[in-house]
Amino acid sequence: MTERPSTGVRSYATPQLEAFIARALGAVGLPPSDAAEVARLMVRADLRGADGHGIFRLPQYVRRIRAGAVNVRPRIGVASETEAMALVDGDNGMGHLVMGFATRLAMDKAARQAVSWVGVRRSNHAGPAALYAMMPLERDMIGLYLAVGNANHLPPWGGIEMLLSTNPIAVAIPAAEEPPIVLDMATTVAAYGKVKTAAQRGEMIPEGWMLDTRGQPLTDPRRADEGFLLPIGGYKGYGLSLVFGLLAGTLNGAANGRDVVDFNKDDVTPTNTGHAIVALDVRRFAPTDAFKRSVDTLIRDIRCSKRLPGVERIRLPGEQSHVTFVERSKDGVPLNPALQAQLHRLAEDLGIAPLSRL
């Protein structure tokens, strides 16, 4: 355990975090193996620095499970399939389990057909997009993941009604000696979590993140409820969010547009979350090693290229998360005092052993 006294931030090791999450999810009814799988994926999010998508979400997940909004004994199944495609019905199970199932299926299909597309409906929040895009890397495959976000914070371009979510895309591409390229991005300038974090810290947010309903820049995050997020590239980000929502949501019979349940405000309604995962088997396109070396070359060309004045390093997508992963795998995951206290109360509430420290 590393404590930084001035901040109260403490770091926790992977086994402790996984065991605590598994205890909590077991206490609300998940079978032990399912609880362990969700815990593993949630901690992987924390290890990669996706702090808003890991153990931070545990109290909310527990609250929604207890309210009956999530099925703890889902029968995850395939509603339609070919050798290259499947439509998975998550039976309202935890999103991590549903997406784990869908991604394994996608990889098996891609191993035979070189490409697969698996759509998912009746799932739930599954953590950061990169988790699933990265799974195919283990088999030298490329992963591409799309999802409908679990709250609408984005209006169409020119509008003020929040009919769209921050619908993310993640793409993971294997390299040889370099870390893989892992793009994981919302289609808005800032994720809503960043706005909430700024509000907690009493900080202002930059112009360009949000507008109010009169079209004026909104920079006080405590007023976030009076405005909405801005898409990247104006109408372009709106277009991306829209088509990703159609591909991950509407096409699969999952929620999109007005049907989206705001899971931050509503603990009782099933979200019918939609996702899509695509796997591409590199070896059908090129010898795997040659492809991975080409990716290395591009990475190094970019990293070593000339920089703007004042820029210390040119980064590749996923590079910072990889560094964080290496650090946190060694030093543990830092949790702030508010989250520590919240998890302590959760343990008491569930009658389970608290999160043990390193």
The set of residues, in sequence order, having a beta carbon less than 8 Å from that of 187 and lying 6+ positions away, is 154, 166, 167, 168, 169, 231, 232, 237, 238, 240, 241, 244
Is position 225 an interface residue for a second copy (rule: CB under 8 A)? no
Out of 243, 326, 338, 341, the residue judged to bind a second copy by CB under 8 A? 243
Alpha-carbon distances, residue 344 vs 226, 347, 356 (angstroms)? 33, 5, 10
Cβ of residue 274: shortest distance to a second copy, in angstroms?
11
Is position 214 an interface residue for a second copy (rule: CB under 8 A)? yes
Out of 19, 183, 199, 350, the residue judged to bind a second copy by CB under 8 A? 183
Tell me which DSSP letter residue 315 carries: P
Structure tokens at 261: 């349940």
Is position 355 an interface residue for a second copy (rule: CB under 8 A)? no
Identify residues 120-159 at the interface with a second copy (CB under 8 A): 142, 155-159
Nearest Cα residue to 315 out of 122, 214, 114, 178: 178
What phi, psi does 89 have (nearest 5°)?
A: -105, 115
Is position 251 an interface residue for a second copy (rule: CB under 8 A)? yes
Cβ of residue 110: shortest distance to a second copy, in angstroms?
9
Is position 356 an interface residue for a second copy (rule: CB under 8 A)? no
The set of residues, in sequence order, having a beta carbon less than 8 Å from that of 62 and lying 6+ positions away, is 24, 25, 28, 346, 350
Burial of 234 (0-12, 13-18, 19+ CB in 10 A): exposed
Q: Which stretch binds a second copy (CB under 8 A): 53-61, 91-99, 286-294, 342-350?
A: 286-294
Is position 180 an interface residue for a second copy (rule: CB under 8 A)? no
Cβ of residue 268: shortest distance to a second copy, in angstroms?
24
Is position 5 an interface residue for a second copy (rule: CB under 8 A)? no
Cβ of residue 272: shortest distance to a second copy, in angstroms?
13
d(CA 183, CA 119): 20
Is position 326 an interface residue for a second copy (rule: CB under 8 A)? no
Out of 137, 163, 176, 350, the residue judged to bind a second copy by CB under 8 A? 163
Is position 213 an interface residue for a second copy (rule: CB under 8 A)? yes
Is position 74 an interface residue for a second copy (rule: CB under 8 A)? no
